[in-house]
Amino acid sequence: MAGIPGKASQIILDLVNPGSARIGKVLPTGNPIGTVSLTNGRSVKTFLVDATNPAIFVDHAELQTFLPIDDYIKGKASVVKGVSPILEEIHQQGVRWIELDPSAQALLKLMMLHGPHSAEDASQKLASAYMFYCCKKPYLQL
């Protein structure tokens, strides 16, 4: 299993009908990659999945090209007001795609994927994911 050190038997999961009860599809839009057009003129590639707990994934490297995302992750107050609305735009597009109530922000998780932080991490195929609650500062690093 990637990210777990050592050698052991391969673990295989076979989920029967993993799509949500609401829409019934793992890929609610029918596409593996979606694009969110932001009000600032930029666009962001996303991956929306609904396997019981819906989530919209964005790439740290892409966000980093136009946002001070690392400072945001560190919780620097000077960037939170500028970054949070952009993350909320991404979140709200995911909510519309999955046909959820826009006021129920906690239902769709916004996840940011980050590649390996070091050569050692890369050799062990380790990456990071950050989960945002209502597009405020990250509250969980996976």
Specify the amino acid at residue 64. Answer: Q
Model confidence, pTM: 0.74
Q: Which of 65, 40, 50, 62 is nearest to 113 (CA)?
A: 62
Return d(Cα 84, Cα 124) in angstroms, integer. Answer: 32
Domain range for 57: 34-141
Please check whether residue 123 lies inside any domain of the structure.
yes
- HSE-up of residue 141 (Cα within 13 Å, Cβ side): 9
Please check whether residue 24 lies inside any domain of the structure.
no
86-135 pLDDT, tens digit each: 999 999 999 888 888 777 656 788 888 887 666 666 565 555 666 665 55
Q: What is the count of structural domains for the chain?
A: 1
7-57 pLDDT, tens digit each: 667 777 666 666 666 667 888 888 889 999 999 999 999 999 888 778 899
